Chain A
Amino acid sequence: ILNVEQSPQSLHVQEGDSTNFTCSFPSSNFYALHWYRWETAKSPEALFVMTLNGDEKKKGRISATLNTKEGYSYLYIKGSQPEDSATYLCAFPEYGNKLVFGAGTILRVKS
């Protein structure tokens, strides 16, 4: 059974803090890794699709790196803002369009 793990489970930071979370996935048969942001009462929103030949991905204050040999990806948020509060999910494509999701990291940013 394919296992995708995320840590920490939750994180409380102050506005302006930088933070990062980890996603661990099987290092064999890697094709891609997806990161999503899921705000309360909204739809999960795609952040990045990390690929084998990809470099660090960046979107505003959010960036992600990938280590396929050791099977992990980091998501970084620089200068966290209250609007960054959300659950951050990573997902590993198993086959077809089937995504295997981690349990997520809940981020709460206090102003």
Chain B
Amino acid sequence: KAGVTQTPRYLIKTRGQQVTLSCSPISGHRSVSWYQQTPGQGLQFLFEYFSETQRNKGNFPGRFSGRQFSNSRSEMNVSTLELGDSALYLCASSWGQGDPYNEQFFGPGTRLTVL
């Protein structure tokens, strides 16, 4: 069974640009969550999508957005990039939504560097 895949793995952008990251969940999984990890910070929840609808949102500015397609693949977009957006962005997939016992499976992440 293929794991969660994320593309690209590495990305370098400059301030003010926008970026789109992609996540393909495990086949059959319908929930995709996104997390950000910055130096000195733990994993911070960005948002969750289930059945093409955003179900939860973390405490991030509106520059961070996402969407989910009918095949459960998800993209997240960051507009007007700031230096502080440099981080590792992880996505996680699970089959269900709203169940605290749901095991979540993580991708390898996209390392974004903003210059």
B103 touches A49 (CB 8 A): yes
B105 touches A46 (CB 8 A): yes
Q: How far is the CA of A72 from the CA of B14 in the complex (A)?
A: 43
Residues of chain B within 8 A of A21, CB atoms compared: none
Q: How far is the CA of A101 from the CA of B33 in the complex (A)?
A: 13
Q: How far is the CA of A51 from the CA of B55 in the complex (A)?
A: 23
B104 touches A51 (CB 8 A): no
Interface-side segment among A11-19, A62-70, A74-82, A90-98: A90-98
With an 8 Å Cβ cutoff, the count of chain B residues facing the other chain is 31
Q: Mark B30-46, 1 if CB is under 8 A from A, else 0.
A: 01010100000111110
B107 within 8 Å of A (CB atoms): yes
A-B contact sample (6 more), CB < 8 A, given A42-B108, A97-B97, A101-B35: A44-B106, A97-B33, A97-B56, A98-B48, A99-B104, A101-B42
A/B interface sample: 29 pairs, CB < 8 A: A31-B101, A32-B101, A34-B104, A36-B106, A43-B90, A43-B106, A43-B109, A46-B104, A46-B105, A51-B101, A89-B42, A89-B43, A93-B100, A95-B56, A95-B98, A96-B98, A97-B48, A97-B50, A97-B97, A97-B98, A97-B99, A97-B102, A97-B104, A99-B35, A99-B104, A100-B45, A101-B43, A102-B42, A103-B41
Across the A-B interface, give the 5 residue pairs with the lowest CB-CB distance, nearest first: A93-B100, A31-B100, A101-B43, A32-B100, A44-B106
A interface, CB within 8 angstroms of B: 31-32, 34, 36, 41-46, 49, 51, 89, 91, 93-104
